[in-house]
Protein backbone atom coordinates (compact mmCIF):
# COMPACT_ATOMS: atom_id res chain seq x y z
CA UNK A 1 0.00 0.00 0.00
CA UNK A 2 1.10 3.57 -0.70
CA UNK A 3 0.63 6.66 1.41
CA UNK A 4 -1.34 9.39 -0.41
CA UNK A 5 -1.52 12.10 2.28
CA UNK A 6 -0.65 12.50 5.94
CA UNK A 7 -1.56 15.20 8.46
CA UNK A 8 -0.98 15.51 12.17
CA UNK A 9 -4.26 15.57 14.06
CA UNK A 10 -4.87 15.77 17.83
CA UNK A 11 -1.32 14.56 18.44
CA UNK A 12 -1.69 11.48 16.23
CA UNK A 13 -1.48 10.96 12.47
CA UNK A 14 -4.32 10.97 9.93
CA UNK A 15 -3.13 9.08 6.83
CA UNK A 16 -4.74 8.17 3.52
CA UNK A 17 -3.51 5.04 1.73
CA UNK A 18 -4.07 3.54 -1.71
CA UNK A 19 -3.73 -0.12 -2.69
CA UNK A 20 -4.76 -2.73 -5.26
CA UNK A 21 -7.55 -4.78 -3.72
CA UNK A 22 -7.68 -8.48 -4.60
CA UNK A 23 -11.23 -8.92 -3.32
CA UNK A 24 -12.58 -5.91 -5.18
CA UNK A 25 -10.46 -6.13 -8.34
CA UNK A 26 -9.71 -2.41 -8.31
CA UNK A 27 -7.58 0.33 -6.79
CA UNK A 28 -8.92 1.44 -3.41
CA UNK A 29 -8.29 4.26 -0.98
CA UNK A 30 -8.82 4.15 2.76
CA UNK A 31 -7.94 6.34 5.73
CA UNK A 32 -6.31 5.53 9.04
CA UNK A 33 -5.87 7.47 12.25
CA UNK A 34 -2.95 6.34 14.37
CA UNK A 35 -2.88 7.70 17.92
CA UNK A 36 0.41 8.95 19.32
CA UNK A 37 0.59 5.78 21.40
CA UNK A 38 1.15 3.81 18.16
CA UNK A 39 4.60 5.40 17.87
CA UNK A 40 5.67 3.24 20.84
CA UNK A 41 3.51 0.13 20.76
CA UNK A 42 0.85 -1.72 18.78
CA UNK A 43 -2.69 -0.50 19.34
CA UNK A 44 -6.17 -1.98 18.76
CA UNK A 45 -8.37 -0.64 15.97
CA UNK A 46 -11.93 0.49 15.48
CA UNK A 47 -13.22 0.03 11.92
CA UNK A 48 -15.75 2.67 10.89
CA UNK A 49 -18.01 1.87 7.91
CA UNK A 50 -19.59 4.91 6.27
CA UNK A 51 -22.99 5.37 4.72
CA UNK A 52 -24.46 5.88 1.24
CA UNK A 53 -22.55 8.34 -1.02
CA UNK A 54 -19.58 8.56 1.38
CA UNK A 55 -15.91 7.81 0.86
CA UNK A 56 -13.29 7.37 3.58
CA UNK A 57 -13.08 11.16 3.84
CA UNK A 58 -16.47 11.98 5.38
CA UNK A 59 -15.88 10.33 8.74
CA UNK A 60 -12.22 11.37 8.67
CA UNK A 61 -12.95 15.07 8.27
CA UNK A 62 -16.33 15.51 9.98
CA UNK A 63 -16.62 13.22 13.01
CA UNK A 64 -13.87 14.66 15.21
CA UNK A 65 -13.27 11.08 16.40
CA UNK A 66 -9.50 11.54 16.45
CA UNK A 67 -9.56 13.57 19.68
CA UNK A 68 -10.86 10.76 21.87
CA UNK A 69 -9.22 8.02 19.78
CA UNK A 70 -5.86 9.61 20.52
CA UNK A 71 -6.67 9.90 24.22
CA UNK A 72 -7.73 6.23 24.39
CA UNK A 73 -4.92 4.93 22.19
CA UNK A 74 -7.24 3.51 19.52
CA UNK A 75 -6.50 3.41 15.80
CA UNK A 76 -9.34 4.20 13.40
CA UNK A 77 -9.57 2.28 10.10
CA UNK A 78 -11.92 4.04 7.69
CA UNK A 79 -12.64 2.21 4.40
CA UNK A 80 -14.45 3.43 1.31
CA UNK A 81 -18.07 2.34 0.76
CA UNK A 82 -17.77 0.44 -2.54
CA UNK A 83 -15.32 -0.62 -5.22
CA UNK A 84 -14.14 2.31 -7.35
CA UNK A 85 -12.83 3.09 -10.82
CA UNK A 86 -14.04 3.35 -14.39
CA UNK A 87 -14.11 -0.42 -14.85
CA UNK A 88 -16.51 -0.91 -11.92
CA UNK A 89 -20.19 -1.06 -12.98
CA UNK A 90 -22.51 1.52 -11.44
CA UNK A 91 -26.26 2.06 -11.10
CA UNK A 92 -27.75 2.76 -14.55
CA UNK A 93 -29.06 6.11 -13.34
CA UNK A 94 -26.17 6.72 -10.96
CA UNK A 95 -28.66 6.71 -8.10
CA UNK A 96 -27.18 7.41 -4.67
CA UNK A 97 -28.50 4.20 -3.14
CA UNK A 98 -26.99 1.54 -5.42
CA UNK A 99 -23.65 0.90 -7.16
CA UNK A 100 -20.65 3.08 -6.44
CA UNK A 101 -20.81 4.60 -2.96
CA UNK A 102 -23.39 1.95 -2.04
CA UNK A 103 -21.66 -1.43 -1.72
CA UNK A 104 -23.81 -2.50 1.28
CA UNK A 105 -20.89 -4.50 2.74
CA UNK A 106 -21.95 -7.76 1.07
CA UNK A 107 -20.49 -10.22 -1.46
CA UNK A 108 -22.51 -9.81 -4.66
CA UNK A 109 -23.44 -12.98 -6.52
CA UNK A 110 -25.19 -11.50 -9.56
CA UNK A 111 -23.75 -10.34 -12.90
CA UNK A 112 -22.27 -7.76 -13.47
CA UNK A 113 -21.80 -6.90 -9.76
CA UNK A 114 -20.04 -10.02 -8.47
CA UNK A 115 -16.68 -9.23 -10.08
CA UNK A 116 -16.07 -6.12 -7.94
CA UNK A 117 -18.75 -5.78 -5.27
CA UNK A 118 -17.19 -8.00 -2.59
CA UNK A 119 -17.11 -5.50 0.25
CA UNK A 120 -17.88 -8.14 2.92
CA UNK A 121 -14.68 -10.03 2.17
CA UNK A 122 -12.76 -6.79 1.85
CA UNK A 123 -13.78 -5.52 5.30
CA UNK A 124 -13.69 -8.85 7.15
CA UNK A 125 -10.46 -10.28 5.71
CA UNK A 126 -8.41 -8.35 3.18
CA UNK A 127 -8.21 -4.93 4.83
CA UNK A 128 -7.43 -6.17 8.38
CA UNK A 129 -4.73 -8.50 7.03
CA UNK A 130 -3.16 -5.62 5.10
CA UNK A 131 -3.17 -3.01 7.84
CA UNK A 132 -2.19 -5.40 10.62
CA UNK A 133 0.84 -6.44 8.58
CA UNK A 134 1.96 -2.93 7.67
CA UNK A 135 0.87 -0.69 10.58
CA UNK A 136 1.46 -0.87 14.37
CA UNK A 137 -1.83 -2.65 15.12
CA UNK A 138 -2.72 -5.55 17.37
CA UNK A 139 -5.31 -8.05 16.16
CA UNK A 140 -7.94 -6.63 18.52
CA UNK A 141 -10.74 -5.00 16.54
CA UNK A 142 -14.08 -3.36 17.08
CA UNK A 143 -16.50 -2.28 14.37
CA UNK A 144 -18.86 0.67 13.96
CA UNK A 145 -20.70 2.43 11.17
CA UNK A 146 -23.34 4.90 10.04
CA UNK A 147 -26.59 4.17 8.21
CA UNK A 148 -25.67 1.67 5.44
CA UNK A 149 -22.38 1.36 7.34
CA UNK A 150 -24.27 0.74 10.57
CA UNK A 151 -25.92 -2.19 8.78
CA UNK A 152 -22.45 -3.30 7.69
CA UNK A 153 -21.00 -3.07 11.20
CA UNK A 154 -23.90 -5.02 12.74
CA UNK A 155 -23.85 -7.78 10.11
CA UNK A 156 -20.07 -8.15 10.03
CA UNK A 157 -19.76 -8.08 13.81
CA UNK A 158 -22.63 -10.52 14.38
CA UNK A 159 -21.23 -13.00 11.84
CA UNK A 160 -17.64 -12.76 13.07
CA UNK A 161 -17.86 -12.58 16.83
CA UNK A 162 -14.39 -14.15 17.11
CA UNK A 163 -12.84 -11.26 15.14
CA UNK A 164 -14.34 -8.26 16.98
CA UNK A 165 -14.83 -7.26 20.61
CA UNK A 166 -17.85 -4.99 20.20
CA UNK A 167 -20.22 -3.38 17.69
CA UNK A 168 -21.72 0.08 17.49
CA UNK A 169 -23.80 1.95 14.96
CA UNK A 170 -25.26 5.36 14.26
CA UNK A 171 -28.69 5.31 12.60
CA UNK A 172 -28.20 1.80 11.15
CA UNK A 173 -30.34 0.11 8.51
CA UNK A 174 -31.35 -2.64 10.93
CA UNK A 175 -33.57 -4.82 8.77
CA UNK A 176 -32.54 -4.29 5.13
CA UNK A 177 -34.52 -7.28 3.85
CA UNK A 178 -37.65 -5.21 4.48
CA UNK A 179 -36.89 -1.61 3.62
CA UNK A 180 -36.56 0.15 0.24
CA UNK A 181 -32.76 0.71 0.31
CA UNK A 182 -32.11 -2.92 1.23
CA UNK A 183 -34.64 -4.44 -1.15
CA UNK A 184 -33.20 -2.50 -4.10
CA UNK A 185 -29.61 -3.34 -3.24
CA UNK A 186 -30.12 -6.98 -2.26
CA UNK A 187 -32.29 -7.88 -5.28
CA UNK A 188 -29.64 -6.46 -7.60
CA UNK A 189 -26.50 -7.71 -5.83
CA UNK A 190 -27.87 -11.03 -4.55
CA UNK A 191 -30.78 -11.94 -6.86
CA UNK A 192 -34.42 -12.58 -6.08
CA UNK A 193 -34.11 -15.52 -3.67
CA UNK A 194 -34.81 -13.77 -0.38
CA UNK A 195 -33.23 -16.63 1.59
CA UNK A 196 -29.87 -15.42 0.27
CA UNK A 197 -30.50 -11.98 1.76
CA UNK A 198 -30.88 -13.11 5.37
CA UNK A 199 -27.15 -13.46 6.19
CA UNK A 200 -26.92 -9.71 5.50
CA UNK A 201 -29.72 -8.62 7.82
CA UNK A 202 -28.92 -7.81 11.47
CA UNK A 203 -32.42 -8.48 12.77
CA UNK A 204 -32.59 -11.84 10.95
CA UNK A 205 -29.13 -12.78 12.24
CA UNK A 206 -29.99 -12.06 15.87
CA UNK A 207 -33.35 -13.82 15.55
CA UNK A 208 -31.59 -16.91 14.18
CA UNK A 209 -28.30 -17.01 16.09
CA UNK A 210 -28.76 -14.80 19.14
CA UNK A 211 -26.21 -12.15 20.04
CA UNK A 212 -22.93 -12.54 21.86
CA UNK A 213 -20.98 -9.31 21.22
CA UNK A 214 -22.02 -6.13 23.04
CA UNK A 215 -23.87 -3.65 20.83
CA UNK A 216 -24.46 0.10 21.21
CA UNK A 217 -26.73 1.95 18.78
CA UNK A 218 -27.39 5.72 18.65
CA UNK A 219 -30.37 6.98 16.70
CA UNK A 220 -31.67 10.52 16.20
CA UNK A 221 -35.43 10.96 16.49
CA UNK A 222 -35.53 13.74 13.85
CA UNK A 223 -33.88 11.44 11.30
CA UNK A 224 -35.83 11.66 8.03
CA UNK A 225 -35.06 7.99 7.23
CA UNK A 226 -36.15 6.65 10.61
CA UNK A 227 -39.45 4.98 9.84
CA UNK A 228 -39.04 3.89 6.25
CA UNK A 229 -35.41 2.71 6.18
CA UNK A 230 -33.89 2.34 9.66
CA UNK A 231 -36.49 0.77 12.01
CA UNK A 232 -34.45 0.75 15.25
CA UNK A 233 -37.38 -0.76 17.17
CA UNK A 234 -36.93 -4.02 15.26
CA UNK A 235 -33.31 -4.27 16.37
CA UNK A 236 -34.25 -3.41 19.93
CA UNK A 237 -36.87 -6.15 19.93
CA UNK A 238 -34.49 -8.72 18.44
CA UNK A 239 -31.86 -7.92 21.10
CA UNK A 240 -34.48 -8.15 23.86
CA UNK A 241 -35.78 -11.50 22.61
CA UNK A 242 -32.23 -12.83 22.35
CA UNK A 243 -31.57 -11.56 25.87
CA UNK A 244 -28.50 -9.87 24.39
CA UNK A 245 -26.12 -7.23 25.70
CA UNK A 246 -27.27 -4.32 23.59
CA UNK A 247 -28.66 -0.82 23.95
CA UNK A 248 -30.44 1.49 21.52
CA UNK A 249 -30.08 5.14 22.56
CA UNK A 250 -32.70 7.47 21.07
CA UNK A 251 -31.79 11.17 20.86
CA UNK A 252 -34.44 13.82 20.59
CA UNK A 253 -33.90 16.50 17.93
CA UNK A 254 -30.98 14.85 16.15
CA UNK A 255 -31.03 14.03 12.44
CA UNK A 256 -29.10 11.68 10.11
CA UNK A 257 -26.11 13.99 9.55
CA UNK A 258 -22.50 14.12 10.69
CA UNK A 259 -23.56 16.71 13.29
CA UNK A 260 -25.25 13.77 15.02
CA UNK A 261 -22.21 11.50 14.64
CA UNK A 262 -19.85 14.21 15.93
CA UNK A 263 -22.10 14.69 18.97
CA UNK A 264 -22.01 11.03 20.07
CA UNK A 265 -18.82 9.52 18.66
CA UNK A 266 -17.13 10.05 22.02
CA UNK A 267 -19.74 7.86 23.74
CA UNK A 268 -19.25 5.12 21.12
CA UNK A 269 -15.45 5.27 21.37
CA UNK A 270 -15.58 4.96 25.17
CA UNK A 271 -18.00 2.04 24.80
CA UNK A 272 -15.57 0.21 22.51
CA UNK A 273 -12.57 1.07 24.70
CA UNK A 274 -14.12 -0.87 27.59
CA UNK A 275 -14.04 -3.99 25.45
CA UNK A 276 -10.92 -3.40 23.35
CA UNK A 277 -8.40 -2.24 25.93
Please indicate whether residue 147 is annotated as part of the active site: yes
**275 in Cβ contact with 72 (< 8 Å):** no
Which one of residues 3, 4, 11, 228 is an interface residue with a copy of itself (CB under 8 A)?
Answer: 11
Distance CA 41, CA 258 (A): 31
Residue 159 near a copy of itself by CB under 8 A: no
Q: Which long-range contacts (CB under 8 A, 24 or more apart) does 61-67 make?
A: 62/258, 62/261, 62/262, 63/258, 63/261, 63/262, 63/265, 64/262, 64/265, 65/33, 65/265, 65/269, 66/9, 66/10, 66/12, 66/14, 66/33, 67/10, 67/266
Kindly give, in sequence order, each residue whose CB lies less than 8 Å from that of residue 102, ignoring residues fewer than 6 positions away: 52, 53, 81, 82, 91, 96, 148, 185
- Smallest distance from the beta carbon of 63 to a copy of itself, in angstroms? 8
Residue 3 near a copy of itself by CB under 8 A: no
Which one of residues 91, 198, 263, 275 is an interface residue with a copy of itself (CB under 8 A)?
Answer: 263
Residue 270 near a copy of itself by CB under 8 A: no
Q: Considering only the stretches 141-149, 159-167, 210-218, 260-268, report the one whose residues sit in contact with a copy of itself under the rule CB under 8 A.
A: 260-268
My answer on whether omega of the bond before 158 falls inside 30° of 0, hence cis, is no
Please indicate whether residue 223 is annotated as part of the active site: yes
Please indicate whether residue 275 is annotated as part of the active site: no
Bridge partner list, 20: 27
- Smallest distance from the beta carbon of 212 to a copy of itself, in angstroms? 33
Residue 39 near a copy of itself by CB under 8 A: no
Residue 40 near a copy of itself by CB under 8 A: no
Provide the pairing of β-strand 12-21 with 2-9. antiparallel
Which one of residues 31, 50, 66, 118 is an interface residue with a copy of itself (CB under 8 A)?
Answer: 66
Residue 113 near a copy of itself by CB under 8 A: no
**156 in Cβ contact with 107 (< 8 Å):** no
Q: Which one of the listed residues 21, 147, 166, 171 is annotated catalytic?
A: 147
Taking alpha carbons only, the member of 77, 38, 74 closest to residue 59 is: 77
Residue 262 near a copy of itself by CB under 8 A: yes
Residue 160 near a copy of itself by CB under 8 A: no
Return the residues of window 211-250 that contact a copy of itself according to CB under 8 A: 220, 222
Residue 1 near a copy of itself by CB under 8 A: no
Q: Considering only the stretches 4-12, 95-103, 114-122, 135-143, report the one whose residues sit in contact with a copy of itself under the rule CB under 8 A.
A: 4-12
Q: What residues are annotated to the active site? A: 147, 223, 256
Binding site for a copy of itself (CB under 8 A): 7-11, 14, 61-62, 64, 66-67, 220, 222, 251, 253-255, 257-260, 262-263
Amino acid sequence: MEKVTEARCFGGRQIRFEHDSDSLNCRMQFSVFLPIRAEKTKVPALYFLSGLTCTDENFSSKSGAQRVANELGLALIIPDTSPRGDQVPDDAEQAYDFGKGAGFYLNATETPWAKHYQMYNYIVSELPALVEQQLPLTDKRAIAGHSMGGHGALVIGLRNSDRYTSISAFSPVTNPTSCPWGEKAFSNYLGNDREQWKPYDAVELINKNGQTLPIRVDQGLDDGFLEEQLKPERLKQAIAEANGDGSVHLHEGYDHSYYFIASFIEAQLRFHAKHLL
